[in-house]
Amino acid sequence: MARDRGRSSGGAEQGGDEFVLVALGGMGEIGMNAYLYGYGPAKARNWLLVDLGITFPEGEFDPGVDVILPDLRFLEEDRASLSGIVLTHAHEDHVGAVIDLWPRLEVPIYATPFTAGMLKAKAAEFGGRMKLPINVLPMGGRTQIGPFEIELITMSHSIPEPSAVAIRTPAGLALHTGDWKLDQTPFVGDPPDERRLETLGGEGVRALICDSTNAMRDGRSPSESDIASSIAKIVKAAPKRVAITTFSSNVARIKAVADAATASGRTLVVAGRAMHRVIEVARETGYLPEDFRYVDQQQFKYIDRSKVLLLCTGSQGEPRAAMARMADNDHPDVQVAKGDLVVFSSRTIPGNEKDVGRIQNAFVRMGCEVLTDAEALVHVTGHPRRDELKQMYQWIKPELAVPMHGEARHIRAHAELARAAGVPEVMPAYNGEMVRLAPGPAAIIDDVPVGRLFRDGRLIVSSIEGPVRDRRRLAIAGICVVALVMSDRGEVLADPEIVLDGVPEKDADGEEMYDVVADAVDGALDSMPQKRRKDVETVREAVRRAARAAIGSAWGKKPVCKVLISVIDD
């Protein structure tokens, strides 16, 4: 039976040690994963952070934003209590915020070799200025981090070395699954350690904190090996050039494309810096052979059209990635043409549909054939469907289920599945809600501040105040700037200068909007006694209000209005 989601103080009233969980990102959304596990009394807990990822901007809602990061103010206020950061795998939505936010925390990082290699490669792009204290753990490794005993459990996913994290405390054991699926033939890397999962279930798991991404989809996820076989057949049957794009981190897919090139007698050409970086780390960690063969994009023009297989970045419609530039005929080295095959071996992340659709349509207009996972077996999810979730619950037999990594609808579907699987307690929770895992019954016992930060160029800015908020307003209604020159006695010494951007040139009657504003400014100034005009701020506000109201009356929208006043000593 599901427990009530109402707040409870429980063990906190008694001042005893508690085992708690609070998400700073990742519960109620897919992306920006950051999960805090705490142990100790309410006022003196030690914390462990599992993952520190990003999410991506949502088009017009986040103008100019590069990526979105979790707000860590809750941790920053007491970072001495943070014992470390454990990374489950190297996807950006799990590790992408480490470079930007680690300086605010300055704690040890724990990761497997491939994840550590990806993080180091990313840090190297900062010119070697950032030295991250990365502790490399082997697959299946164990270590003590503060009061938490950590064990990594090998899983399978769409990237090498995904790990679930078993977290042991005196109050009980929690299993944090990370991203996973049950793929016994993952093509690259090891299959999930099902025997260890069963053993953990026998040990007694207090709480299972589990991936909800595909909780609404029946069945099981296909294998990565199935995709490799399908891609090989597609490439071999193509009469002309083939271009394939996928997530650059999917080493199994990279190997599958390389194998397809070899089998069809084609030369593999790699276009995109991110793809090169992943290949290099995969070589260093043994997931690709040292003699893995491909050529750089500069060699493309020397290869016969029927003998080339392009592997490109840009599966999500990124504007400067290889696929977007090829679609716009703007790439300096690689191109496609009529009759070529373009394969999107990926799924479109929600929010990227317009950008991906634009690129796909551009290829179709060129005369290319475009193939997606809607038409052929060219992509498979890295997350568990319902039958895999049921299998996990049979193995682990948790006392408590806490769905994570999903929007509200995914979390609800997962919670219903867990109840049907016989889990005694099920606790849906969302970002900022602190869940007591043990001792005693599960309950939401507190709320902590959560939010979003924006990476805006080289700066990290607030999502609530600051430039991005202003850009949203500018995108809706434009800007009006009025510049005045006045004497210190309040006299206007020149005609106002007016600049309108993003505002219609004329109103419905054909009158110039410039004149509409100019008349409103003159009227505001004329209506003010000269004595009041000596107060610059009073003048500024009166002119701003008049200009904004005049445009609002003529247009039906009120732009951002700025008034610049220069005062000259008389």
Model pLDDT for residues 299-348, shown as the tens digit of each residue:
999 999 999 999 999 999 988 899 999 999 999 999 999 999 999 999 99
Q: What is the DSSP letter of 52?
A: -
State residue 127's pLDDT score. 60
Calpha distance 500→231 (Å, rounded):
54
Q: Spell 52-70 as b/e; 16+ CB within 10 A means b.
A: bbbbbbeeeebbebebbbb
Calpha distance 94→51 (Å, rounded):
5
Q: Name the token pair of 186.
A: 């993952």
State residue 392's pLDDT score. 98
- Which of 288, 311, 264, 248 lies closest to 96 in space, CA to CA? 248
Neighbours of 491 (CB within 10 A): 13
Q: Check: CB of residue 333 under 8 Å from CB of residue 297.
A: yes
Summarised one tens digit per residue, pLDDT across range 98-126 is: 999 999 999 999 999 999 999 999 888 77
State residue 460's pLDDT score. 86
Helix ranges restricted to H, 293-341: 322-327
State residue 124's pLDDT score. 86
CA distances from 132 to 105, 149, 166 (A): 11, 22, 24
Calpha distance 513→168 (Å, rounded):
68
Residues 6 or more apart whose Cβ sits within 8 Å of residue 244: 231, 235, 257, 309, 310, 311, 312, 342, 343, 345
Q: Spell 534-555 as b/e; 16+ CB within 10 A means b.
A: bebeebbebbbebbbebbeebb
State residue 57's pLDDT score. 79
- Residue 62's Cα: distance from chain center in Å? 13
State residue 71's pLDDT score. 96
CA distances from 359 to 62, 321, 352 (A): 21, 11, 11
Residues of the chain with pLDDT under 70: 1-15, 59-60, 127-129, 570
State residue 10's pLDDT score. 46
Go through the domains of the chain in sequence order and give each one's CATH number.
11-219+381-462 (3.60.15.10), 224-371 (3.40.50.10710), 478-568 (3.10.20.580)
Calpha distance 87→109 (Å, rounded):
8
Q: At what angle do helices 251-263 and 273-284 cross, to 10 degrees?
A: 90
Q: Check: CB of residue 415 under 8 Å from CB of residue 426.
A: yes
Q: At what angle do helices 386-396 and 408-420 cross, to 10 degrees?
A: 50
